[in-house]
Amino acid sequence: MTILEVNDKLLLMVENKKYNDFARRLTERMKDAGVDVKQLSDSVGVSYEMARRYTLGTAKPRDDKMEQVANAVHSTPVYLDYGVDIYGSFGEEKNKDTVTVRQIEAFASAGDGYINNPFPEVIRSIEIPKERVYELFGRNSLDGVIIINADGDSMSPTLNPKDLLFVDTKIMQFTGDGIYIFNFEGSTFIKRLQRVKGRKLAVISDNEFYPPFHIEDHEMHELYFHGKLIRSLPMSLKQFA
């Protein structure tokens, strides 16, 4: 085997490994739901071979297909993609007096658009006392809430780079004016969305140097929601010396 062939094989192994966790979670959920590869391909609208590649870890669906895959196996996109189970834990023993919110290694652009690392990992967890949940978040449950970082300055001064963003991933559609994390035309944004006349969504930045734009009614098929921002934790440091 030549050096070039060895390099190609190693690159293929690394590339395939990126999808292994997704494939493992998918096949587990398929087994639980009693769904085979043929049923998955029919539900999602992809070829049998593509569905089989999902289960082998040699391919992973894009955002628009990920939701369909999740629905087919009675799961959620955030679990299949990130391994964050909004209906349970990872299996470890949990402190009964706290709620765990996990931070994933992903960024949402508060700028001109950011193509996320498609293989984010859980990088840390935050334990929140149960008695403080309502006080801090205005809700009794944090099911479906994950933490990501902001990136860019288009939402300044509301949000600044590296701020921790608490995102409700159960909100997968526009539910009224607010700040959403969404994909549009291949990039991920965190922006203020507002319904305006003409069945359009206005995409608004809090930084006046970034002009708003609109997502037209005929472009809605390119819009995919990751969740809605419910809280942020500023991470700015002041320099004194």
Q: Fold identical between 3-75 and 98-233?
A: no
Spell out the residues 6+ positions from residue 229 whose beta carbon is closer than 8 angstroms to its own. 165, 166, 167, 168, 178, 179, 180, 181, 190
Q: Which CATH superfamily is domain 98-233 in?
A: Umud Fragment, subunit A (2.10.109.10)
Mean pLDDT score, 127-136: 85
Q: Which CATH class is domain 3-75?
A: mainly alpha
* Model pLDDT, residue 11: 43
What does the pLDDT read at residue 162? 80
**pLDDT at residue 91, rounded to an integer:** 39
Residue type, 12: L
- Model pLDDT for residues 77-107, shown as the tens digit of each residue: 767 876 655 444 443 445 568 888 887 766 5
Name residues whose C-beta falls within 8 Å of residue 59's C-beta, 6 or more positions apart in sequence: 19, 50, 53
Q: What is the pLDDT of residue 74?
A: 83
Q: Is 144 helix (H, G, I), strand (E, B) or coil?
A: coil
CB 137 within 8 A of CB 180: no
- Asked if 114 and 184 touch (Cβ cutoff 8 Å), the reply is no
Q: What does the domain layout of the chain look like in residue ranges? A: 3-75, 98-233
In order, the DSSP letters of 165-231 are EEEETT--S--SSEEEEEEETTEEEEEEEEEETTTEEEEE-SSTTS--EEE-GGGGGGEEEEEEEEE
How does strand 98-109 pair with strand 145-151? parallel
Instruction: Report the percent of the chain where pLDDT is more than 90.
Output: 33
Residue 111: the pLDDT is 52
Q: What is the pTM of this model?
A: 0.58
pLDDT for 175-202, tens place per residue? 999 999 998 887 888 999 999 998 899 9
Rounded mean pLDDT of 158-176?
89
- Weakest-pLDDT range from 39-43, 118-122, 124-128, 141-145: 118-122
Greater model confidence, 1 or 231: 231
Return the higher-pLDDT residue of 126 and 41.
Answer: 41
Lowest mean pLDDT among 40-54, 89-103, 209-223: 89-103
